[in-house]
Each structure stands twice: as structure tokens, then as C-alpha cells.
Amino acid sequence: MNNNQYVYFFGDGKAEGSAQMKNLLGGKGANLAEMSNIGFPVPPGFTVTTEVCTYYYQNQKKYPEVLKKQVEDGVQKVESILGSKFTDPENPLLFSVRSGARLSMPGMMETVLNIGLTTKTIPGLIKKTNNERFVYDSYRRLISMYSDVVMEKAAGIEPEEGQGIRSQIERLLEGVKERRGYTNDTDLTAEDLKELTENMKIKVKDVLGKEFPDDPYGQLWGGISAVFQSWNGKRAVSYRRIEGIPGEWGTAVNVQAMVFGNTGEKSATGVAFTRDPGTGQNYFYGEWLINAQGEDVVAGIRTPYAVNLKSKQDNNRQFPSLEELFPKTYIELEGYRNKLEEHYRDMQDIEFTVEEGKLWMLQTRVGKRNGIAATRMAVEMQKEGLISKEEALSRVKPDQLDELLHPMVDPKAETVNHPIAKGLPAGPGGAVGKIVFTADMAEELGTKGEKVVLVRDETSPEDVHGMKPAQAILTSKGGMTSHAALVARGWGKCCIVGCGDLSIDMANKTACFGDKIYKEGDWISLNGTKGLIYEGQIPLVTIDPERNEYYKEILSWADEIRKLKVRTNADTPSDSAAAISFGAEGIGLCRTEHMFFGDRIWAMREMIMAEDIEGRKKALAKLLPMQRQDFYDILKVMQHRPVTIRLLDPPLHEFVPNEPESQKEMAERLGMSVEAVKQKVESLHEFNPMLGHRGCRLGVTYPEITEMQARAIIEAAAQCAVEGIEVNPEIMIPLTGTKTEFDNQKEVVDRVAKEVIAEKGVNVNYLVGTMIEIPRATLVADKIAEKAEFFSYGTNDLTQMTFGYSRDDAGKFLYDYYENKILPSDPFQTIDQEGVGQLIIMGVEKGRKTRPNLKIGICGEHGGDPESVKFCHRTGLDYVSCSPFRVPIARLAAAQAVIEESK
Ligand code: PEP
Ligand code: MG
């Protein structure tokens, strides 16, 4: 532990720390040090390190013994620079205390300003500044912040909604304003404020049972402890969980001399970004307020002014900008803005204060930005020569591209609404619609142009007709690979699944979110990117990525350097075409089972109901021309690009109805007795259908199904060949667990292909390969590769079977697993590298030992997850395959994998 140095000083053009020391000093502390080192006007102060936070929690909330002396030395250094003294009644110095972790956690932890104001130091400060109003304004802010942060929150007191000490104190302030007929806080006179602070202190004593502390060091240590306490406060803990920030990091505390933006009309405070964080445009963007302190700008009590003419918005156009009102200060500030961008080579978020005309820089940090801004800034900074292409590519989080691909809930509107429930974010973007509970209703209203959200416990292939016209799908059950999630993601449709707070009463057509009840027809809004559900209609904002030159440019750079190919999971010509426009280089998974719904379901059902092989063949003959057309259409769209078509995979019961009404209809259409239909459906019942009669097991029992599909594919390819279209079908056997299973099915495919090629007299290039989705297949991959010409990892099933978690039911308990730190994240979203990853690596090694050029890809949902894409790159896969809307995300992640590898 660092020579027991727990306190790092900064100010007066130098610092003990630097921007590189974020782990020890937190982001804020490291950047204050850096700004001091490069000669910016930073009020002097010191940072208490993150190690103290760790120590504090490991030692029953005690501090290292040497800390007291080090803090006092820090105070003295500041005193000697400024020529004032912390506890001095004649010439007092005041401090701010702010938290600062490694990564910024906006608003999650606490700040206390004006520490050091007491009944003894107040008269001295009034004399020194000749400004009584300012001193009492500062005092009322201290009482309000300190009683809230230190005396209430840090003490673990949890008041009822609206009964917190801060709210009670605010009400005293509002009372004075009302009685005096004031509109703004700035209208209060020195006398008003003096009286108010007395009443505030009485209120503190009444509510919290303690006197407001009247000793500077008592206040300072109270502030420092409150920051450390807030690291484990509820808000901070839940923020860390969402953002994946480890609790062990701890926070630092920054103690800094106060400079005052609230001394009068020549003082001000502001927050600015070196570029517009909403659009990414390269201009100085910011807000400020005259005669204000700290939080006033962001708190929304007063409408902030724009820093310059360019930043003016409709709500502040009538107010003067800093550029207009304090032109000299503005020029100085803009100079720092330019220097900061040059120095940090990234967009910075800064805080500044003007005290009686003197500009002070209080903070700089890398600014948060949305996806649109991130993309534009990255591209423009590369063109300006600030950063390399590699850095530009690393600056955009792959998931941020989602924002450019889907309409999203207006972020501004979202901040003023509270979600009524939360589920898993299965399909990104935003949606607004009326609640409907059945696919039929969704179809009926949706096709009429009404906006509906289909709300169900879960969906099945029979609901697809209602899912398509719905704006969004919301289910109470299911996980990230549930039917609803998979289908919605493929369409780029907003979808939330596994919403545990939702219970549906189908009889009364109501949905309960916690204790709130909604009827069919009530409006809700969904943020599918975050999994949040809101009451009513929240506005959406739409973006067209094709019109975004920055998006196109960054992806073209990604394509230049990535090694992984990116394919798509698609099973219609229109999805295939959409995927090509997103940059897909082939189809990695065409799920043929999706082709047996609609009218074709009857031929499929006839096949399933058939008594014998003859009956099945008769029904399959009806399906053949339909399948041939399906494949022909897709192959024609994809042209030379490889198209992996998977033979029928799901258990047959998924194609037959369970409800008596539908069974009756089926009996009539197929000329069977209702009893016979019922018996057949019952005979298809399995206890564990996911581990039952599905995948290649169907093909082994009913080779005629494999024959029909193989014939349809090869005939479609032959037709393309006749038309002069080069196509590359790849026929994929699902759910292979043994070499013999695979060989059995490959033999069927090859035999049929040979027949068709002979019949048609044209040559067709095709491959036969397999899904690797059963753990056993990875163990015997060397044997399977003797005949298999490609592998495609089905990581949905592979995860399901490796963990033994049902992919459709895991949502029920996974949340508890994250809560208890049993699992870091959803293994159905991000590959579990520790376990499932090992099987993948083993399969690759064994497969390529037999067949060095074996083509290997992945087609489970993980193919569009950035972390999993990076893993696939490192493991030496040839391609990833994901839903069309995730293709750009995978392209970027694949490029980032190359960049990260070279570091
Ligand atoms: C898989 O299991 O990963 C896969 C792609 O197949 P499906 O999701 O259709 O079972
Ligand atoms: Mg599978």
C-alpha cells in the first residue's frame, strides 16, 4: 500500500497526482490533478484516496490512524496558498466535499458545499466579502445539503416519501418566498436568509434530534464519512449493479477550497461539454446561471442560460449567454475547452465557476454521450487528426449502434416518467401502443393501423401473425432466447420478456404491474433497450441510419480491419435483403421450421397425422414445391453469399393444436375423427420436449422429411444455376450428438442431391455440416469433422445443456443468481467463457485437427452480443451470425476484437 499516503494534494499549478491515477484518486481527483498540472485555474484542494474507502469498510468504518494528520496537512497547504484559514473567525476558508469513483456515477453519491461556515466564521466572511446576503445564502445551502447527506442519509435514516429533511427545509424556503411574493431564490434578501437559516437549524433539531454542527472540522469529517457511506447507499449499489462496477473499487473524496458563483451579478456557475453530447456536433455546448452555486444548474429549479449563442434552445433563447454577457470570461473558457480536447483527445464534460469575474475550473471528465453523438464524434475526431481510426472504432460501444437502428423513447421525456415495471431487454428500441392480450386482437387492430402492444405470458409460433403487426411484445415469462425474444429481435422489434412484475388475468382481460391494473386498450410505452415499461404514451424519436454518414463511415472502417465474417439469421427473402443492407455477408442460420406456419400448417399437420410412410410422403409432396420456392427466393436474394439452411429442428408437437376447438377444426380439415386427432396429439406429448424427439432425431425416424428438404434445397439451387445465378447453399443437420447420427443424415442428403443433380443435369455446389449444440458433440468434434464440412455453434442449446438450465424457464431464477453474485450475467445473452467457452474451444481444436480448413461459425443469440463476438474472434471462428439488426453491432465488435488483441 503506497507508503501509507492517503491524501494527494493539487492546486497552484502543480499536483501530486495525474490523470493516470484514476484507480487511486477516482476520476474526479485524477482530473483535478491533471488540470492543475497543465496550469488551469483549479481551486486548491486534496483527494482522499479510494484505498481509504476500502480500509473504512474492512475496519468497521474506521480510518487509518495517519489519515487525520494527512488531512490536516492538506488543509494547511490550501491555507498557505490562499492566505486564509479554515477555522479562522476573521478570514475563514471554506471547503467543498465531493465523491469521485473511478468511473463517474452521475448523481449517485454526495456533495456538500460551504463546509466551515459556523456562527463564529459567518461574521468574518461577511466582513471579508462585504456581502451578507451571499454568506447567508451559502449557509442555507450548507444546512440543506449537510443535514440531508450527512445527518440523514449517511446515518441510515430512511424517511417517508417527501418527508426527508431536505424536502422539509425546501418547504421552509418556499414558505418565505410565498409570504414575500418572490418568484426566484435570488429574490431573498440577507435578512430573509438570516431568519430562514435560524428556522432551518430548528427544523434540523426537531426532525433529526441533533444540533446542526457548529465546528468546521466536525463538518469536514462528517462530509468525508458521508461520501464513504454513500458508496454503499442503495442508489449507488443498484447503479453499480446495472453498470457492472465492482464494489471493491471504492470511492475517493475530493476536498477543495470553495469558490463562489453566488456572490452576486458578477458571479456564475456552469456545466459544459466540449462538443454537443446529444448530436456530437463540434461546438462548445453548455449551460450556466448567474449568481448560483453548484447544483443549481442541473437541479432544474431555475432555467439555465446557454453558454453561447449556438447552444441556445427554445426555453432559454431570451436569456443572455455567457458569450454575450461576460465575453472575456467566455473567451478564456473557450480556450480551456480547446486545450482540454487537445490534451484529452476526447469530449470532456466540465464544470466551472466565475467568482467576481474570475474563472475557475472545477471539474473535467470524459463526457457521456448517446450513440448518435458517439459515432459522429469518433469519425470527426479522426478526421481532425485527434485520434486514429482504431481509437475512433473503440470509442463507440457496439450496443450504442442500436440507437441508430430503432426508434427510441425520447430520453428527455423518459427522465420525467417513472417506470411501472422492468423486464429483460429482449428487443431494442422504443414503442408505444394499446395493450392487447391475444395475437388475433393484435392482428385485427394492428392491420387496421392501430398501435398495439401484445401482452402475454409467453408467445408461441401460433402467435406470430399478431406479433408482426404489434408495435412491441411484452411477456411475463421467458428469457432472452424465448420465442418472443428471438422473433422480435429478428425483426428489430421492441420486446421485453420475463417481466416478473406483470400478471395477466385473461378472463377479465387485465394486466397487473405490481398493484396497478390496466385494461385492454390502455396505453403503455416500452423502452426495449433497457427493459422498462411506462404508463401512457411517451414520445418516440426515429433515426434512419442509412442517412447517417458517420455511421456508414465507422462501419466501413470496422470492415477494413475485422477478421470475422458477419452473417445473419434469416428465414425470409425480406429479412435476408434487410440483412444485406446492414452488411451481412451470408446467412448463418435459416430456421426452416418458421416456414411451416400460415396455410402450409395443414400440409405439415397432415404429415404429422399420417399413419404410415406413404401418408407422410403424400403430405411432404405438398410441402416440397413450397419449400423449393422458399429456398429459391432466399438464395436469389443472397446470390453468391453462403446460405446455411438448417433441416427441421423442433419437436412435432409444436405444429399441432392443444385446444379442443382447434383440434375439431383440424379433424374436419384432415377428414379424421376428433378422437383420432386428440390421441395423436397426446402421443406427441413429451415430458422434456427440448431433450426429446427433435433435431436430427426426427430425420433419423422420418428420413423422408430430410429427403424432402434436401430435394427442395438442391432443386432451388439447380434452378438458380440454370438462371446463371451463383449460389452457395450449406445444408445443416441440427442437434448432432454422435458421429453416426450425422453420417446417417449426411448420407440421406448426399443421396438426394446426387439424384437431383442427375435429374437436372446441372452442377450444384453445396456443403453438408452440422450444428454443434450438444455438449457431447464438442467432445467428439474430431470424429464428426471426418464427414462434416462445417460447424455452426448453436450456443442457445449448448448453454442450455451445459448449465442444465431450461432456456425458457431460467428467467425465473437467474435474477437471484445475479443478486447473490452466483452468476455475473445472463449466460443466454453473453457466452459463459469459463464453461461453455471451453467446450467451444475444444470443439474448434478437435474439429480442425481432423479438417484443418473446417469452416466454423456461431448462430446462437450470442452471435450478436459484443463480448461474445470478441470471444469468437479470439477462438478463431470464421464467422458469427445474428439477427439482421445486430449485424452492424457484430461488425463493430469484430473490429474492436482485432484492436483489443493488438494491445
Ligand atoms: C441454438 O441452439 O443456439 C440455435 C441457434 O438453435 P435454436 O435456437 O433454433 O434452437
Ligand atoms: Mg438449437
Strand runs labelled E in 479-618: 494-497, 502-505, 510-513, 516-519, 523-527, 532-535, 540-541, 565-569, 587-591
Check: CB of residue 474 under 8 Å from CB of residue 500: no
In a mutational test of the pocket of ligand 1, which residue from 480, 482, 567, 591 has the highest number of ligand atoms less than 8 Å from its CB? 591
Q: What ligand 1 atom has the least distance to the C-alpha of 860?
A: 3
What pLDDT score does 704 carry?
98
Residue found under cell 386482437: 441
What pLDDT score does 688 carry?
93
* Whether residue 405 has pLDDT greater than 90: no
Tell me what the mean pLDDT of segment 245-264 comes to: 92
* Whether residue 355 has pLDDT greater than 50: yes
**Spacing, Cα 137 to ligand 1 middle (Å):** 64
Cell of 761: 443435369
**In whole angstroms, how far apart are CA 67 and each of 74, 86, 221, 642?**
10, 18, 11, 66
Give the closest residue (by CA) to ligand 1 atom 6.
Answer: 794
* Whether residue 403 has pLDDT greater than 80: no
What pLDDT score does 245 carry?
81
* Whether residue 490 has pLDDT greater than 90: no
In a mutational test of the pocket of ligand 1, which residue from 587, 589, 594, 773 has the highest number of ligand atoms less than 8 Å from its CB? 773
Three-class HEC string of 410-446: CHHHHHCCCCCEECEEEECCEEEEEEECCHHHHHHHH
* Whether residue 212 has pLDDT greater than 90: yes
**In whole angstroms, how far apart are CA 178 and each of 173, 199, 656?**
9, 16, 70
Q: What ligand 1 atom has the least distance to the C-alpha of 859?
A: 5
* Whether residue 240 has pLDDT greater than 90: no
For all residues of the chain together, what is the average pLDDT?
A: 93
* Whether residue 299 has pLDDT greater than 60: no
Pocket of ligand 1 (CB under 6 A): 589, 591, 649, 773, 794-797, 859-860
pLDDT digits (tens, 9 = 90+) for 17-55: 999 999 999 999 999 999 999 999 999 999 999 999 999
Full DSSP string of 847-903:
HHHH-TT-EEEE-SGGGG-HHHHHHHHHHT-SEEEE-GGGHHHHHHHHHHHHHHHT-
Q: What ligand 1 atom has the least distance to the C-alpha of 486?
A: 8
Task: For residue 3, name the pLDDT band (cuts at 50, 70, 90).
Answer: low
- The reply to whether 483 belongs to the active site is yes
Please tell me what DSSP assigns to residue 92.
B
* Whether residue 242 has pLDDT greater than 70: no
Full DSSP string of 256-291:
EE---S-SSTT-EEEEEESS-TTT--SS-EEEEEES
Those residues whose beta carbon sits under 5 angstroms from the ion ligand 2 are 773, 794, 797
pLDDT digits (tens, 9 = 90+) for 47-67: 999 999 999 999 999 999 999
**Spacing, Cα 809 to ligand 2 middle (Å):** 16
Percentage of the chain modeled with pLDDT above 70: 97
Task: For residue 298, name the pLDDT band (cuts at 50, 70, 90).
Answer: low
Task: For residue 108, name the pLDDT band (cuts at 50, 70, 90).
Answer: low
**Spacing, Cα 773 to ligand 2 middle (Å):** 6
Q: What ligand 1 atom has the least distance to the C-alpha of 861?
A: 3
Check: CB of residue 342 under 8 Å from CB of residue 317: no
What pLDDT score does 168 carry?
94
* Whether residue 523 has pLDDT greater than 90: yes
Please tell me what DSSP assigns to residue 370.
-
- Distance from C-alpha of 462 to C-alpha of 415, rounded to nearest angstrom: 37
User: Coil, helix or strand for 533?
Assistant: strand
Please tell me what DSSP assigns to residue 212.
P
What pLDDT score does 526 carry?
97
What pLDDT score does 1 carry?
45
Task: For residue 447, name the pLDDT band (cuts at 50, 70, 90).
Answer: confident
* Whether residue 754 has pLDDT greater than 80: yes
Give the closest residue (by CA) to ligand 1 atom 10.
Answer: 797
Check: CB of residue 307 under 8 Å from CB of residue 285: yes
Considering every ligand atom, which ligand is closest to the CA of 593?
Answer: 1
Considering every ligand atom, which ligand is closest to the CA of 792?
Answer: 1
Q: What ligand 1 atom has the least distance to the C-alpha of 481?
A: 8
In a mutational test of the pocket of ligand 1, which residue from 771, 800, 803, 832 has the highest number of ligand atoms less than 8 Å from its CB? 771
Active-site pick, 53, 859, 872, 882 = 859
What pLDDT score does 486 carry?
74
**In whole angstroms, how far apart are CA 186 and each of 73, 125, 177?**
37, 19, 10
Q: What ligand 1 atom has the least distance to the C-alpha of 800?
A: 2
* Whether residue 302 has pLDDT greater than 70: no
Give the closest residue (by CA) to ligand 1 atom 9.
Answer: 591
Give the closest residue (by CA) to ligand 1 atom 1.
Answer: 794
Considering every ligand atom, which ligand is closest to the CA of 654?
Answer: 1
**Spacing, Cα 424 to ligand 1 middle (Å):** 19
**Spacing, Cα 430 to ligand 2 middle (Å):** 29
Check: CB of residue 707 under 8 Å from CB of residue 753: no
Task: For residue 428, name the pLDDT band (cuts at 50, 70, 90).
Answer: confident
**Spacing, Cα 860 to ligand 1 middle (Å):** 5
Q: What's the one-letter identity of residue 147? A: S
Active-site pick, 53, 406, 483, 499 = 483
Higher-confidence residue of 681 and 159: namely 681
User: Coil, helix or strand for 392?
Assistant: helix
**Spacing, Cα 692 to ligand 2 middle (Å):** 13
- The reply to whether 494 belongs to the active site is no
Residue found under cell 445486430: 886
Considering every ligand atom, which ligand is closest to the CA of 794?
Answer: 1
Cell of 301: 429549479
Check: CB of residue 555 under 8 Å from CB of residue 888: yes
pLDDT digits (tens, 9 = 90+) for 781-838: 999 999 999 999 999 999 999 999 999 888 889 888 987 889 988 999 999 999 999 9
pLDDT digits (tens, 9 = 90+) for 642-663: 999 999 999 999 999 989 999 9
**Spacing, Cα 862 to ligand 1 middle (Å):** 10
pLDDT digits (tens, 9 = 90+) for 130-184: 999 999 999 999 999 999 999 998 898 988 877 899 989 989 999 999 999 998 8
Percentage of the chain modeled with pLDDT above 90: 78
Task: For residue 844, name the pLDDT band (cuts at 50, 70, 90).
Answer: very high
Check: CB of residue 104 under 8 Å from CB of residue 93: no
In a mutational test of the pocket of ligand 1, which residue from 460, 480, 481 has the highest number of ligand atoms less than 8 Å from its CB? 481
Q: What ligand 1 atom has the least distance to the C-alpha of 593?
A: 9
Give the closest residue (by CA) to ligand 1 atom 8.
Answer: 796
**Spacing, Cα 486 to ligand 1 middle (Å):** 10
| Closest-CA residue to 869 (of 861, 570, 426) | 861
Q: Please count the CA atoms within 13 angstroms of the CA of 646 that sit on its side-chain side.
A: 32
